[in-house]
């Protein structure tokens, strides 16, 4: 359900200039959550529900692998955290030569 809310926000921004695909498949049959095609660029976004640091780190590795597959240097991860004592914000993570922009809402 959080994906639907994010797409409601996103659609008016890319309307007429770009497009997106949900759960796109790679050639090796892995599924990415969201790929946005905007102004000639391809942006991979991994969407997660916060379930702890270990789960988050697996998501970062998964996103890094997608970036490697598509020869991209930057990707995005959006985590939905429903905990009462959550830490929200945006941070930049470096995994090898890849840059991950992580947002927790």
* φ, ψ of residue 52 in degrees (nearest 5): 110, 165
**Over the stretch 27-54, which tens digit does the pLDDT of each residue have?**
565 666 788 888 889 999 988 888 888 9
The pairing of beta strand 98-104 with beta strand 18-25: unpaired
Judge if pTM exceeds 0.95.
Answer: no
Cβ(21)–Cβ(14) below 8 Å: no
What per-residue confidence (pLDDT) applies to 32? 61
Highest mean pLDDT among 16-25, 77-86, 93-102: 93-102
Block residue for tokens 């969201």: 34
For the record, the structure tokens of 40 come out as 């000639």
């Amino acid at each position: 359900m959080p994906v639907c809310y994010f797409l409601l926000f996103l659609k008016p921004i890319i309307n007429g200039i770009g497009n997106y695909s949900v759960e796109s498949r790679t050639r090796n049959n892995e599924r990415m959550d969201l790929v946005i095609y905007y102004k000639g660029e391809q942006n991979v976004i991994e969407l997660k529900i916060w379930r702890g640091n270990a789960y988050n780190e697996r998501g970062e590795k998964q996103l890094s692998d997608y970036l490697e597959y598509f020869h991209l240097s930057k990707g995005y991860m959006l985590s939905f955290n429903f905990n009462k004592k959550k830490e929200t914000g945006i941070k930049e993570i470096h995994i090898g030569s890849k840059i991950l922009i992580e947002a927790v809402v």
